[in-house]
Structure 1
């Protein structure tokens, strides 16, 4: 047995043990006859690096997989990365730009080859960082969404969905990123508050028609004046009395001269602006829906921008030449379409100025009313997203959503926490067609070919498409698939589908999926759709949704706020075990995790406490246990620690079944710190006989196994330093909660702990010198207490610093009185402390604590403070109030003890 070093060094331990586990195949030991247990990781972007959200997500997964591996399961944690279409293409294009090159300098194949080169050289950053966190994934079978087998699954899925009528081509609005010249998903759109305006314009009514008030025009208000060049209607609320007589009449667009109808639609809010809304269905999602309700077909809707968001001629050719080629906004100092449209409407007399009064009461006129606008930006390009009418491939998500919803209702999929079910159903019941095509070069190229007439042929190969088309000349669709389309196949595509195999049948469905709630719809729901469509059953039995990791003040982390926490920095500072334990202890179902570096440091201290306990045991001749079963024990203290060990195993098992990571972490934490390190070691100091050594060695072994899923590195190290082992801890056997629980021994040691704790508290509160030994007089003790004092007298004398123990009445003078169960324990203090001075000190401190408590209570009972103050200020006041209230109670009890 190697002597434990005095200093616990996480960095050296972590790198050594991870390499050992991986090189020896211990993350996936051969267990063909064991019960399978399978989870898949949410595949991080191949361009990514470990952020704090990854740290939480993967820590929770690793805790589960290590726990199930210790329980003897055939535990498979599927690992891989996502090809991340836009993100990866952007990285490689940026490298080309640094060499004064651009993507279009190369053919598509040449560019894709460069992306593969980049992946080979730099695409493993995130996977190496997951290793530093301790993730025990099946690296030997790592997958990539663009690898050959997975790509085959993607093509198969696309073709099959098309055959089944669940995938089609359609003209609809998409989130268009003019920088990347591609459609992007909602997840890649970030809404930002920007300074904008509300412009009001007069649109003349056609054919001499007037409003009920005699006006010959309608005033419309808009935040996007540039899009009026593609207006196709004016919408008013059907119940708005101002406009009822002109519904169905025509109106003129002043610049283009286009005539279009006034339509009734509840989208128009009579209380907002003028109650009349210009409808540009080719450039606004709400307008698109209004246009459809008004009878416009998508093919008839006007698109006035090209892929770069420059003005182009519409189908009816009415946009004046002077606007063609202008960018939608001002760019590089040159006015854009917005400025040109406003200027022309103003020159024509159709701009309604915004009039306000200055400080002196004088009227001030401006072209627009300043407004804060919720503006969509591409999260990577940082340019304003343009709703753009274009032809794309869509999946009929409404039909695919039916089976997953039924699976949740039937319990085939259990969502944890259950509160997320309502959100799940709300989104699935209102689901929109899923746009799956992207205008990129990097990704799965869509398996569709077009003939010269625009007809499409979907097939797994060009030869099959040609067979469908006959002798027609075909051109392959240049677009690629949305990365969420491929990652939706992760639970079965990673297991070899569409090929049938034992691995697929054994590990599908997966047992559990752990993911952030923020990708419930982008990834989780889509996996459920594809899994049920192609495998006939839900992809996992449980779906666990965790919250976000937020800054200490509760704010969302962002680079712009400067409050982002680097998990690798925390690992460097405190060790991976400490960070992992923090994540588990703070993960309470349904709540976000608030980052707290002090708590991470506290769990590093917890690891040090465990290390020092091992050193103490080693110095007292305690070695590794030779039995999985609890040793025979006669002493109450040993029977007690066995019972506490069994209770902790039971608590962890219950918590893990319910996916209560915080409860599991807290159960092992308090057992290790309180019961074992603080009390068991204290109670057995100087009394280490053979029985106690055997029990201590067994209990410490159980601690290492129970703690391993949370703190794998230090536990594996101590497992080997504390004795000869036949195998590594990572593949050891989980404790069985089968030992008989000795309730009598538990009750006795619990009584002793309560008594010693009460004595220590009283001594501290009354300023008794630490080294002073006090006589103790016991009154009203039961026979059971007498017997306990006989058995535990030596331990009580040592731990409570008791000089003598007698029964009867106390002498006259001040004394501290402690009641434990039915008995009163009296500690005479005459000559030990200045009782009068101590009473004065306690009374003064009590008055100060009560004053502060009542002041804080007054603030908290004031509705004005609670409602108007910052939430963090209210929370701090509540915390301080609770602290002062508890302090006052302690001081009051101390005074009462002195009589």
Structure 2
């Protein structure tokens, strides 16, 4: 196979990806091998590849490719999430551009448009993942609203309802006024904002000369006030006990209640209570049986529910129909005008925003469906705390524990059409039944009502759909149809899955809930390990976003640096659980590594082989050494993978190839100019290259396949993808340590050549004063172009020396140097070290320093003195030798 002079990713990547697909290397069916399973965190059908996807899916691909090469039955299941809110918003926006309103359509017609949008856009991100090299079993591609997954979701809803875990009720929820739906606590993003704190006057009813000042950030909600609360221990407000106050502008008379919930130190120590529009106020309202007045329409405009008395001002009556933020400005001006505003202060507070639509959420009382979480949470919490299911890094255990111990019931209903419609059917006379289909609901309805004449058309299905996460929490089970067909061959074989790779931002949305459903429906965890990636940030530490313009286009990076270069660059900077400071220079480093591998391969394959020549002793040693170095690296990589330290694993093989193989091994065995190499060394080198390519393959799949195919003749259907990962045969660390000394000796001689401007073609001698292991002399002779290595009692005249540990090595320079210039240099260096030694001696003679400094510091200073004295002795000997 002909190898091009330069590596061109564009020519290689598409060719080999298609080859992998054509040969079915990514496909998996149950067999007698150990399974290794990953389910993809399903990206939204609205999504396109971003840097977070790149990181997450690169990690998954590394794990799955490595497992495949270790002989496991590797199964990586891909799929997409229907993303209720995000997708519905996209469809509504597209229709609006065509002049069509959602409200003008039937549910069925709107869903036609939604499915059309999904078919156009839903597969884009999965196609893009192929460009990254993702080795998913694409035949298993799933969608959270496909038939199997939809049937699973509905069956689970019915089951949980029948177990008494799902209920319907009016509760305070986070309302998204743009998407017109409830959202969960985890879908609310809190942002620090510059706000205002408004101090309002509430007059005491019947005593208009008395008042209480109350601070609020939301003056518009006074329209829904039904009480004022003070702390019973607050002496300032003892006079208000049993009294009533008047809501400004609205002139509603409301009671003063006392509760130690109120913080006497915050604001004025008084609290306006608006049960319909604040979670804490709702709790107080329940406690004191206060009425609730919901002043907001679903879209955030004002309704007329607050107009409940004849005393209301004309200004207040005019607020109906206004937007909530427009009203805030208007009501503040009206309060000021009426003398009911004490003051306004600047204020920093956190405001909750909908994660999907980016508008401020509105706490709102709403009839919703909820799932009780306490019972589901216990086994899921115990599994993680007992390390039955492991988190990497472990710091996320505490985050998980805190949420699980304080878990709230899950609001699972959404006021949307795109999603799994809630399988609840309302009856003509009131009440409802729960069933998977209307056909199954009808007999239940007849029993419930006692009316045998009921027809299907008499039943009305709930309009709401389920929270997106109610389908994805079943993902590891529903992908193998474990809900519809419990105990089937695939769920028994692939479940629990092996590793989950995800971001910590969805630890509550998804990870915790999958663990809960796993124990509920399979009586065991859904995966054995969770690897939390960090966020990809720019080099200034900022989160990547479209608005900042700091997020590079992943496909643009692949086009510029190749998929292998981008994968390598990302992983070099990706410690588990920590944010990744991404710099495009990392991709350049990855591309440079590609080129290094390519050029090393071309060098080796360019050598002429002669099977009649004997193997040089230096090559024999080099092969023995590199085999040990390779085994050591394999051991290190296995240890790193066991702890999910993928960046350390990749750094190990990166250094092995760049430093040990390219810079040392190839130099040790390289034949002379236009000389052949012996067959034994050449074959050993090809075997090493084969091992290196296999170790690199999970990280850099394309270049490794290209070179592996060119390494030796291959049959159709052979691939590095299914080649076995090299295993370590153990190594002798003492041997490697001795070899490191040999490398230091080579480095010392090369430094002398550099300092003295001696060309590499000039043959030198090396003299040794002290202990020396001669085992590696053939390597040193070759690497340094030496004529001999000899043991000496003293240095000869005109020699330049260096220390390796405690042994001195010297190179006689003879006529190769100018003696006067060399003496001047050595004397200058001697003066420096004498001065340095003197400063250390002075420090150690200082009783105050010696008395106060830690023992380690004293020890370090004494070592500095000993090193300086050793250097001085060597320099004095060199000077004396030159003067002879």
Whole-angstrom CA distance in 2 between matches of 1:805 and 1:831? 18
2:336 is the alignment partner of 1:342: no
1:291-302 matches, within 5 Å, as: 291-292=285-286, 294-296=287-289, 300-302=291-293
In the alignment, the residues of structure 1 paired with residue 873 and residue 273 of structure 2 have an alpha-carbon distance, to the nearest angstrom, of 77
Q: Give the secondary structure class of the aligned counterpart of 1:513.
A: strand
Partner residue of 1:854? Answer: none
Alignment partner, residue 224 of structure 2 = 230
- Cα distance in 2, alignment partners of residues 9 and 728 from structure 1: 20
- Map of 2:846 onto structure 1: none
1:807 matched to which residue of 2? 791
Return the alpha-carbon distance in structure 1 between the equivalents of residues 49 and 824 of structure 2: 58
Q: What CA RMSD, in Å, does the superposition of the two structures yield over aligned residues?
A: 3.1
CA displacement at 1:30 relative to structure 2: 5.3
Describe the SS at the equivalent of 2:266. Answer: coil
Identify the residue that residue 432 of structure 1 maps to in structure 2.
408
| 436 and 176 in structure 1: CA distance in 2 versus 1, 3 angstrom threshold | same
Closer, same or farther: CA 26–536 of 1 in aligned 2, 3 Å: same
**Superposed counterparts of 1:274-423, under 5 Å:** 274-292=268-286, 294-296=287-289, 300-314=291-305, 317-318=308-309, 322-323=317-318, 325-329=320-324, 336-352=326-342, 354=343, 368-423=344-399
Give the CA deviation at 1:312: 1.6
The one-character-per-residue Cα deviations of 1:699-733 (angstroms, maximum 9, x if unpaired) are: 11111111111101111111101112352110111
8 A contact 1:636–1:745 mirrored in 2: no
- Corresponding residue of 1:692: 681
What's 1:49 paired with?
48
TM-aligned CA distance change 1:30 to 1:590, over 3 Å: closer
- Unmatched segments (≥5 aa) in structure 2: 611-616, 837-863, 880-884
What CA distance in whole angstroms lies between the structure 2 residues aligned with 1:70 and 1:529?
32
Q: Which one of 246, 254, 263 corresponds to residue 260 of structure 1?
A: 254
Cα distance change, pair 895–670 in 1 and its aligned pair in 2 (3 A): farther
Q: How far off is 1:377 after superposition? A: 2.7
- The answer to whether the Cα contact below 8 Å between 1:235 and 1:265 also exists between their aligned partners in 2 is yes
Q: Following the alignment from structure 1 to structure 2, what is the Cα–Cα distance between the partners of residues 249 and 713?
A: 79
How many Å separate the matches in 2 of 1:245 and 1:700?
88
Q: 2:630 matched to 1:636?
A: no
- Partner residue, 2:641: 656
Partner of 2:744: 754
- 1:705–1:715 contact (8 Å) kept in structure 2: yes
Distance 1:216 1:617, change over 3 A: same
In structure 2, distance between residues paired with 1:620 and 1:266: 86
Distance 1:343 1:452 in 2: 49
**Matched position secondary structure for 1:384:** coil
Structure 2 counterpart of 1:532, from 480, 498, 519: 519
Alpha-carbon displacement from aligned partner over 1:353-400 (angstroms, at most 9, x marks no partner): x3xxxxxxxxxxxxx223344323334433322111111111112221
Q: Which moved more, 1:383-392 or 1:755-764?
A: 755-764
- TM-score if structure 2 supplies the norm length? 0.86
SS in 2 for 1:283: coil
SS in 2 for 1:86: helix
- In the alignment, the residues of structure 1 paired with residue 417 and residue 247 of structure 2 have an alpha-carbon distance, to the nearest angstrom, of 40
Work out the CA distance in 2 between the residues paired with 1:827 and 1:530. 77
**Do 2:830 and 2:872's aligned partners in 1 also have CA atoms closer than 8 Å?**
no
**1:782-793 alignment runs, 5 A limit:** 782=771, 785-789=773-777, 792=778
CA distance in 2, matches of 1:622, 1:159: 73
Task: State the shift of 1:550 in Å.
Answer: 1.0
The answer to which of 548-557 and 233-242 deviates more is 233-242
SS of 1:635's partner is helix
Aligned residue among 444, 459, 465 for 2:441: 465
Q: Which residue number in structure 2 is paired with residue 218 of structure 1?
A: 212
The 3 A distance-change label for structure 1 pair 837 and 455 is farther
After TM superposition, give the deviation of residue 51 of structure 1 in Å. 0.7
Q: How much does 1:750 deviate?
A: 3.2
**What is the CA distance between 1:821 and its match in structure 2?**
5.5
Equivalent residue of 1:407, what SS? helix
Query: Structure 2 residue aligned with 1:442, among 418, 433, 447?
Result: 418
CA–CA distance in structure 2, aligned partners of residues 711 and 622 of structure 1: 29
Per the alignment, do residues 671 and 276 of structure 1 end up closer, same or farther by CA in structure 2, a change over 3 Å counting?
same
Residues 814 and 227 of structure 1: is their aligned pair in 2 closer, same or farther, counting only changes over 3 Å?
Answer: same
Per-residue CA deviation, residues 558-617 of structure 1 (Å, 9 max, x unaligned), is 222221122222211111112212222222233211102222211211111111111122
Structure 2 match to 1:618: 605
Deviation at 1:26, TM superposition (A): 0.7
Residues of 2 paired with 1:408 and 1:652: CA distance?
26
1:190–1:377 contact (8 Å) kept in structure 2: yes
The whole-number CA distance in structure 2 between the counterparts of 1:747 and 1:583 is 32
Q: 1:261 to 1:29 in 2, by over 3 A?
A: same
Q: CA deviation at 1:769?
A: 4.6
Write the distance in 2 (CA, Å) between the matches of 1:453 and 1:18: 61
How far 1:830 moved relative to its partner? 7.4
Query: Contact 2:391–2:531 at 8 Å: present in 1 too?
Result: yes
Q: Which residue of 1 aligns with 2:614?
A: none
Q: Is 1:24 aligned with 2:15? A: no
Q: Is the CA contact 1:49–1:126 (under 8 Å) kept in the aligned structure 2?
A: yes
Residue in structure 2 matched with residue 607 of structure 1 by the alignment: 594
**From 702, 722, 728, the counterpart of 1:713:** 702
Separation in 2, partners of 1:189, 1:641: 55
Within 5 Å, give how 1:10-159 maps onto structure 2: 10-29=9-28, 32-159=31-158
1:306-362 CA-partner distances (Å, limit 9, x unpaired)? 1111222338834777245332435xxxxx33234334433433221x3xxxxxxxx
Deviation (angstroms), 1:775: 3.5
Structure 2 distance, partners of 1:317, 1:829, is 110
- 1:743 Cα shift? 6.0
Unaligned runs of 5+ in 1: 210-214, 331-335, 355-367, 624-631, 850-885
